[in-house]
Structure 1
Amino acid sequence: MPSDVEYSPVGEGLGMRDFWLYVWMRRVAAIAAHATGAGLTLVICLLSRPGTSLFSWHPVCMSLAYCLCLTEGILLFSAEGSPFCFKSRKCKVRLHWFFQALVLIAAATGLGFMVASKNVSELPHLVSWHSLLGTCTLAATALQAACGIAVVFPKLLRVSSSPSRLKLYHATCGLVVYLLATVTVMSAMFSDWFQATVKGVAWWALLLLPLFPALVVMNQITNAYLPRKKMTS
């Protein structure tokens, strides 16, 4: 007879020993995603040598926005390996807003430095795949922020959709933003500046590095918002 108990299909059919192995693998993956985001940000900041030119601040701001703050703003909701796992849900939502605000500020600042650098050098705008992808990422980030405001203030904005549907839209938009940001960061590594700075095996390692936290983030969001089934006996 049907039961009212709901469960997530993730991990279905695992024995107790396999289940604990699965939990620990997820925990290690989450910790590694935090470390990868922070490490990639640090490496890009060091390679950019901020202060040497207007352009040097662009990769610094963008890596802080998307490799660090956006990653932490999403992964703080993870139950495994998050430094904020002891915080209440309400506190996590506030921290999420804080990180998202930092994303917007850092991204806008990075965009400003890039525009100023192009203008000073008298170079054309939006002529590379990286710049086009970056523009799409910034537009999606702004849309994501608007969606987040609608989730928090649905009555004030007179949004007709249900709260659960708004949260689903917000999470889906967040996943799109993160994947766009990942592709944009990877495309930056094909730029003349980056290829002149990093070569050989190190270049390949840095090119593939952003994929790992992207996989962890994608897994977290899809597991949290996949349709749940009802258990039957």
Structure 2
Amino acid sequence: MRSDVESSPVGEGLGQRDFWLYVWLRRAAVIAAHVTGLGLTLIISLLSRPGTSLFSWHPVCMSVAYCLCMTEGILLFSDEGSPFCFKSRKDKFCLRWFFQALVLIAAATGLGFMVASKNVSELPHLVTWHSLLGICTLAATVLQAACGICVIFPKLLRPSSSPPRLKLYHATCGLVVYLLATATVVSAMFSYWFQAMVKGVAWWAFLLLPLFLALVVMNQITNAYLPRKKITS
């Protein structure tokens, strides 16, 4: 079995002036995404006032997992505007798995705090769109990590698909996870807790931040992994 995957080149077909404009706009977008991910995590952490209740740790852990760690884990392979651009590919690979491990740890911890908070308050589980999307996001995160392990150890695990195909599956699963995480974060902003904390124009600004992050991350993944021709066997 043989699989061929070719990445779509960035800026193909552009003139010199348009190409540099594209590069600088892309660099500005990546820098803004780094700042947005960190800023959103810090603001959510401040609004949550961690330590005041069991629930207060849930938004902190989940924002650290998905707004910060997963965003950084994907964007560190970008050559435009990434604070890790000076690192070798091997170092970036190690950092990628460090961030992925943090995503799993922080997400599992956030889930634990939410379950404990619901149990103490004697409230039902999985009754809102936010909770259902959150469970789907966690399940997809575990699947994406498992797919990544198959990419690292293809001979040990002996998967049925070839390494190029596994990398494409891993990237696609990562995109699905991030879009699910974005939907979960956005749905949290419609909760009574968040709307009681943030109102008016500020609420609309918060609503746009995760959507902006998703746009930049989606562009990064598709530019890096989108095949130019159909995979053939």
TM-score range, shorter chain: over 0.9
TM-score (norm 1): 0.93
Equivalences for residues 158-197 of structure 1 within 5 A? 158-197=158-197
Contact 2:33-2:212 within 8 A present in 1 as well: yes
Equivalences for residues 114-193 of structure 1 within 5 A? 114-193=114-193
1:99 is matched with 99
Find the aligned partners of 1:178 and 1:51 in 2 and give their Cα distance: 28
SS in 2 for 1:209: helix
1:3 is matched with none
Find the aligned partners of 1:156 and 1:54 in 2 and give their Cα distance: 41
The unaligned stretches of length 5 or more in structure 2 are 1-5
1:28-60 Cα shifts (integer Å, max 9, x gaps): 000001111101001100000000000000000
TM-score (norm 2): 0.93
Contact 2:151-2:166 within 8 A present in 1 as well: yes
CA gap of 1:7–1:14, structure 2 versus 1, over 3 A, is farther
Deviates more, 1:14-23 or 1:142-151: 14-23
Contact 2:8-2:225 within 8 A present in 1 as well: no
SS in 2 for 1:50: coil
- Displacement after TM superposition at 1:11 (Å): 2.1
Contact 1:144-1:174 within 8 A present in 2 as well: yes
Structure number with greater Rg is 1
Q: CA RMSD in A?
A: 1.2
Contact 2:7-2:224 within 8 A present in 1 as well: no
Contact 1:9-1:228 within 8 A present in 2 as well: no
Find the aligned partners of 2:146 and 2:85 in 1 and give their Cα distance: 26
Aligned residues: 224
1:218 is matched with 218
SS in 2 for 1:155: helix
Find the aligned partners of 1:228 and 1:128 in 2 and give their Cα distance: 40
The unaligned stretches of length 5 or more in structure 1 are 1-5
1:160-191 Cα shifts (integer Å, max 9, x gaps): 31111110000000000000000000000011
